[in-house]
Amino acid sequence: MSTLLITGGTVVSSTGRSLADVLVDGEKIVAVLAPGSTLLGHDLAGSVDTVIDATGKYVVPGGIDAHTHFELPFGGTEASDTFESGTTAAAWGGTTSVIDFAVQTTGQRIETGLATWHEKAAGNAVVDYGFHQIIGGVDEHSLKSMETLLDEGISSFKLFMAYPGVFMSDDAQILKAMQKAAELGLLTMMHAENGPAIDVLAQQLYDQGKTTPYFHGVARAWQMEEEATHRAIMLADLTESPLYVVHVSAKQAVAQIAAARDRGKNVFGETCPQYLYLSLEEQLGATGDPTWGDFEGAKWVCSTPLRSRADGHQDAMWQGLRTNDLQMVSTDHCPFCMKDQKELGRGDFRAIPNGIGTIEHRMDLMYQGVVTGEITLERWVELTSTTPARMFGLYGTKGVIAPGADADVVVYDPAGHTSIGIGEGRTHHMNMDHSAWEGYEIDGHVDVVVSRGTVLVSDGEFHGRAGHGNYLKRGLTQYLV
């Protein structure tokens, strides 16, 4: 068991900041001390194995990305990041815990899908990981199997109102699953889009010859997200089941969540960096022509889709984060390469695998929101670490710098600089041949990343290894109203 001291930095929590030193013994934080504290009259720095100088920098709890998809089968291919490559990229970006989605499809047993995800992750993850459970087929067996999820350390499950014939649950299935969730104390996560109506719109656009990536977002109109969000809230209200709406992108959906919360309902919302920074106009290119590049806009195809900047959706997402109508920022990290993957949708936007790679950039992109005055430094920590830990049953072990917590710590340099992308002078570590974030500049830099007392990143070098990451058995949410 080695000891480590992070000294000279400003420790930032969700409630404040202070100059403090952080002492780590083995995998745990054992003390948060006044700067220059001594041990039995001796200089503390001379009594430990490793000293990290954080002078002039922020010391924050490791990021928790609560929405990732590694190796997810989708659209005739699968997400290009493995658990090893995806968690390596996470570590480079200051994320020390991820919660991925184990998948059960129609006709498959939940236990089988969960076992498959354990096999994918075990011995391969660089950072700690947990699972949500996707229930793609709500039937009597899956409803019964939900009773075993907590024993497996899974306290949340995801349903889809989109993707008919693949993942979608109808209202009757959602009702039954929410009733079971309320009985067990599980958190229902919802992909809220009206899938059947979207498919009609998409077919109509295709028949009109409107086939480029831009029309993916046109087909998935904001009305489809607002309607489904409202319907999910009503079903959750009826069943008294807590509801967590994933990847919120439309300002009208935020309004539905806010209205429910104003009524005292246990309804929560997550957004993602792409809905804060990117827009549907990205897919039009510099010319504003929906046929631009014929296919270049595919790099920004995701679901829910990017929204028009002219309609104020991005500003509404930031405001929702400030007012706590949205509680978290995850990535929905689901990367696909352009070559042989996104290209499956050439000539038909409906066949483009939906997903953007962001896991490496979330902490940086959200810190840029601090720089520009969108959120406070404390809210940055709250959105990216503390609230995910509370929402998904990890708080106390994760999400905080305090004695007894896992030593997941990031030293962040506000005077540093990060260039995002894959072009000249830029880099990323995700398994992708392009970047949706090419050209973004961040006024800050992840300097040191520590996971359970082990330094994974420092001095621009990677020291992690596959298999370091442990499976996280999660408890119930600690974030209900």
Backbone φ/ψ region at 253: left (φ over 0), alpha (ψ -120 to 50), beta:
alpha
Which residue(s) pair with 74 in the sheet? Answer: 77
Neighbours of 467 (CB within 10 A): 12
Q: Is 44 helix (H, G, I), strand (E, B) or coil?
A: helix
- CATH number of the domain to which 82 belongs: 3.20.20.140
Q: Is residue 474 part of a domain?
A: no
- On whether both 52 and 143 belong to a single domain, the answer is no
Q: Is residue 360 part of a domain?
A: yes
Per-residue pLDDT for 309 more than 90? yes
* Total domains in the fold of the chain: 2
| Amino acid occupying residue 365 | L
- On whether both 287 and 351 belong to a single domain, the answer is yes
- The range of the structural domain enclosing residue 426 comes to 3-60+399-462
Q: Find the radius of gyration of the CA atoms of the chain.
A: 22
Confidence of residue 173 (pLDDT cuts 50, 70, 90): very high
Q: Is residue 41 part of a domain?
A: yes
Q: Is residue 481 part of a domain?
A: no
Domain boundary among 333, 359, 391: 391
- Reported for 79-82, long-range contacts at CB under 8 A and 24+ positions apart, including other chains, are 79/334, 79/335, 79/336, 79/355, 80/335, 80/336, 80/337, 80/341, 80/357, 80/430, 80/431, 80/432, 81/333, 81/335, 81/357, 81/359, 81/430, 81/431, 81/432, 82/120, 82/124, 82/431
Structure confidence at residue 79 (pLDDT): 98
- On whether both 451 and 430 belong to a single domain, the answer is yes
Domain boundary among 332, 357, 391: 391
- On whether both 80 and 132 belong to a single domain, the answer is yes
Per-residue pLDDT tens digits for 193-230: 999 999 999 999 999 999 999 999 999 999 999 999 99
Q: Is residue 480 part of a domain?
A: no
Q: Is residue 471 part of a domain?
A: no
Per-residue pLDDT tens digits for 359-395: 999 999 999 999 999 999 999 999 999 999 999 999 9
d(CA 328, CA 277): 16
- On whether both 69 and 52 belong to a single domain, the answer is no
